[in-house]
Structure 1
Amino acid sequence: MKLAINHHVTRINENSSYIFGREEFALNLKNIFTNTDGGFVLAIDASWGEGKTSFIHQLIYDLKSSSNLIPIYYDAFSNDFSSDTFLSIGATISYEVENYLEKKGFDKKNKLQIENLKNVTKKTALELVKLGTNLAVRSLTAGIVDSSELEKFAGNAFNSATFDTLELDLNKKFEAYENSKTSIQSYVKALESVCSENEKVVFFIDELDRCRPNFAVEVLEKIKHLFLAKNVIFVICYNKSQLSKIISSVYGVDTEDSLKYLEKFIHIEAKLPTIDSKSQESSYKLLFNSFVDEFKIQLPSDEYLRDMFISLCSDKHLKMNSREIERAFSYVSFCFASLPQNEGLELFRFFLPAAMIKVKNRNLFESVKSGSFNSLTRDNSLKWVFDFFERYFADYLVQKASNVYYVKAFEEACAIVSIFKLPADVE
């Protein structure tokens, strides 16, 4: 049984159904990618937990059916172990374009173009390393670069350099600068030549606001080298306010200046559409089914549990976003695994609301974890709680006083949920 839900898991609906009703936005983007001549950078801004990653993966899945679009997903958080951002990006592009051409049917010309792209990627990365200050160049991907070549250069440079400054003499710096410009131009031409039938690379950069601050800034700095490529479209998905804070911390500037800095790299920005109320119920149903499938467990009364889950997620109750739901299921997975399976199945219906309430509203969780509910509470934030439990747990309610009811199994579930704490929990 799976113990925790990994938010990087790709949940794709093969019927092209977008969670929270973003089909029209996806179609708008697809039309822009198809109809626009030349490369550009689009930013999609959304707050934490609004479903950026789910939307991107669904869009990529749909774009793969296009005849002339090559969608590529790049997780900046997963790649920030690399010391060379250009190499990381260039290697990803080369690898995915090669896969695309192989599926179409490789010919001799394609093979030569791909080899040329790999060689130019290697050369460009090497020239940019010469201009940079980071000598840790061991993290190489996709088999494009022989690590020994860069490591040999880095080692020689380190022997004659002040730590973290790479003090090359002026002539060598000038030579490296000129070589890097030429290499970048060669890289752009090589990338354009690979797409000889007007294909376009749509390069999605995700999790930029979660990776190492320096790496996030370096990714922005490196992709500007590829702006001139007429067949490359960059789509940066971020939480703009969070990324601006990262830029502020790296460069020591205020928020206004960090936003101006960010504008240098973005040609146009779009907000991820908010949750469509008409599609809420169907979207929550899809999320429930996908998480339960990941657990690989057979639940009794799926329809009853799903209805309860949807009700709790709704605006009138907890108003949960997709990331919060994911965290709730992570709690449930640990609670479920901590008990013998038969006991876990019995308590699942109580683990789920307990975990959801804990994730969304810690104060509410503290007030209900005893399993007692007041039908006449004066607290507006608690008025719906008794009605909810009366609807879904009527058979378990025990009256303790004229207006006080108790659910023993819910108290037991809350006690187990309280044992665990996820890393991002805020007290």
Structure 2
Amino acid sequence: MIDNQLNWPKDNFENIETAWEGDLWDRRRLGEQLTSYVDRLNCGAVLALDARWGEGKTWFVRHWAKHLDDTQHNVIYLDAFANDYLEDPFLTIAAEISQTFKESEEIDDDEIKDFNAKTASVLISLAAVIPMIAAKAGMHWIGLGGAGEAFKEVYEEGKALYDTASEEIAAKVKEKIEKKIENHQVEKQTIHDFKKELAVLAGKLDKPLVFIIDELDRCRPDFAIRLIERVKHFFDIPKIVFVLVMNKPQLSQSVQNFYGYEAEITADYFEKFIDLTIKFPNLEPYINYENVLKEELYRIGEMEHKEALNEFFFWVLALQNYKNFNSRELKRKINQYAILKTNDFRKNLILIAFVFGVEFSKDLKIFRLVLSKLVEKFNLSFSDSKFLGNIIISKLRTEYFIDEFHIGNLYNKQVTLNEKYVSVGQQDAKELYMLETYTPFAIQKLKHSDDFIIDWKNYVESGFNLDI
């Protein structure tokens, strides 16, 4: 095996052994608060857990589900995105609840069979939209996988007849619609009986059933809406708490684009089905990013151990605090760096900056803004930005015993460059100074100082250095 072979860690959510292990964002506190909250929700509820892309929604609810299971709660986790090939999620939700009842000591087999029978009755009612209409209109088959496929098979078997006997089809359509109207009260009673049976069985549970539905914002918009509607209309009963996990603005935008609704209408529509929205708390950024960086830099070999803070750590921390990536974006940047890293430490300092999308400019503006993030982290102050590099160098040397800060020295040289070479007649001397300054940090041999940024951008984009 190659010594420096990379191995990206994959989340194994199906086999979590210890809840909250690797919790870098203090999410356990939120999980425990939510647990205490749902324990009091005997009335049942539909909650929305709202967080942006990359903030760890799935990590949180998976570990929370493990925590709930460890504390003898009834919990179901459903990946909505993995099921959005279905037209209607009713059967999936009901089947998951039925399985939980089956595993419960409080509910016997006969009661579960009765519940399943009532589920089947509701399913037939939901799927009783004429397959011929769907077929002729080019629509998806209505139903929940099994029921929809059954209708589809009936249609396929008689497809030739249906396609040729249009008048007969029209008559059958009329007949079915009339029957649908006649059976309306029967169907209402069927749904009522289902909810009543569900409420009786859920009431026998010693603790509320927590049903977590993840990845809603990745689903087909029509499936996401139907799922939320089904939850509220059929399953919103005492002792069942649904937790809908989503990026609400993103889901609203998807629905808006799909149906052409106005943003306000879409947002108001969702609020009709959700009792309470819980947003991920904004945690103090520096501490949490430090924890993530320690984990990630140790993983790729840039730190000897997680507390061995070095120049590379502080430089990446400054870049992160400047760019403010979320957790997922930050990890992707670190992984990209790990693939592209060289055997030269100074070059790697520049590489990580370009991977983060920070380009060095001759006017020092970006450089100064990035380094100022370290000054803020250290609670330092400065009267003149030209002393910025020396202030950080002194802090790292005295408090963290880091003897050399290459980035600080590079900043100081750029300050000297801007102060010393100001006249037109000094351009040749300025170019020589810049070549001398940049060469140790360049990815390729420099013919001109302008090539420094160009070469690095090309390397990061292509991943190849022709000089190696």
Do they fold alike, i.e. is TM over 0.5? yes
CA distance in 2, matches of 1:120, 1:286: 54
Alignment correspondent of 2:115: 117
Alignment correspondent of 1:384: 371
Contact 2:39 2:207 in 1 (8 A): no
Cα distance 1:138–1:130, how it changes in 2: closer, same or farther (>3 A)? closer
Q: Deviations over 1:369-393 (max 9, x none)?
A: xxxx87x724356653997997478
Name the SS for the 1:404 alignment partner: helix
Aligned: 1:404 with 2:421: no
CA distance in 2, matches of 1:239, 1:126: 33
Q: Judge which range, 13-22 or 153-162, deviates more.
A: 153-162
Instruction: Quote how far apart the aligned CAs of 1:226 are.
Output: 2.9
Cα distance 1:49–1:89, how it changes in 2: closer, same or farther (>3 A)? same
Larger Rg: 1 or 2?
2
CA distance in 1, matches of 2:365, 2:108: 72
Alignment correspondent of 1:325: 330
Alignment correspondent of 1:423: none
Pick one of 73, 77, 80 that aligns with 2:77: 73
Cα distance 1:237–1:300, how it changes in 2: closer, same or farther (>3 A)? closer
Name the SS for the 1:273 alignment partner: coil
Q: What is the TM-score with the length of structure 2 in the denominator?
A: 0.65
Residue identity matched to 2:193: S
Aligned: 1:173 with 2:180: yes
Instruction: Quote how far apart the aligned CAs of 1:284 are.
Output: 0.8
Contact 1:328 1:352 in 2 (8 A): no
Aligned: 1:230 with 2:217: no
Alignment correspondent of 2:264: 256
Contact 1:288 1:306 in 2 (8 A): no
Residues 338-357 of structure 1: pairs in structure 2 closer than 5 A: 354=351
Contact 1:5 1:329 in 2 (8 A): no
Q: Deviations over 1:2-47 (max 9, x none)?
A: 8877789679682635432233332221111101221111112222
Name the SS for the 1:130 alignment partner: coil
- Higher relative contact order (CA closer than 8 Å, sequence separation 6+): 1
Contact 1:5 1:330 in 2 (8 A): no
Contact 1:45 1:238 in 2 (8 A): yes
Q: Deviations over 1:341-394 (max 9, x none)?
A: xxx895899789857853x53xx2xx36xxxx87x7243566539979974789
Instruction: Quote how far apart the aligned CAs of 1:280 are.
Output: 0.8
Cα distance 1:379–1:251, how it changes in 2: closer, same or farther (>3 A)? closer
CA distance in 2, matches of 1:237, 1:40: 14
CA distance in 2, matches of 1:305, 1:414: 30
Aligned residues, how many? Answer: 384
CA distance in 1, matches of 2:267, 2:345: 46
Q: Judge which range, 391-400 or 376-385, deviates more.
A: 391-400
**Percent of pairs with identical residues:** 23
Residues 10-409 of structure 1: pairs in structure 2 closer than 5 A: 14=18, 16=20, 18-67=23-72, 69-98=73-102, 100-101=103-104, 110-131=108-129, 135-136=140-141, 140=145, 149-152=150-153, 159=162, 169-175=176-182, 177-195=184-202, 196-277=204-285, 279-281=287-289, 283-284=291-292, 288=296, 292=299, 301=304, 303=306, 308=312, 312-313=316-317, 316-328=321-333, 331=336, 335=339, 354=351, 358=355, 360-361=356-357, 364=358, 367=359, 377-379=364-366, 383-384=370-371, 391=405, 401=435, 403-404=437-438, 406-408=440-442
Name the SS for the 2:70 alignment partner: coil
Residue identity matched to 2:264: E
Residue identity matched to 1:94: S
Cα distance 1:131–1:46, how it changes in 2: closer, same or farther (>3 A)? same
Contact 2:49 2:278 in 1 (8 A): yes
Contact 2:74 2:208 in 1 (8 A): yes
CA distance in 2, matches of 1:240, 1:90: 25
Q: Which runs of 5+ in 2 are unaligned?
A: 373-387, 394-403, 414-432, 445-451, 464-468
Name the SS for the 1:202 alignment partner: strand
Contact 2:124 2:147 in 1 (8 A): no
Contact 1:127 1:176 in 2 (8 A): no
Instruction: Quote how far apart the aligned CAs of 1:215 are.
Output: 1.2
Residue identity matched to 1:23: R
Q: Deviations over 1:288-314 (max 9, x none)?
A: 38x94xxxx888845489864686256
Instruction: Quote how far apart the aligned CAs of 1:408 are.
Output: 4.8
Q: Deviations over 1:184-214 (max 9, x none)?
A: 3333334334442333221122221221111
Pick one of 394, 418, 421 that aligns with 2:461: 418
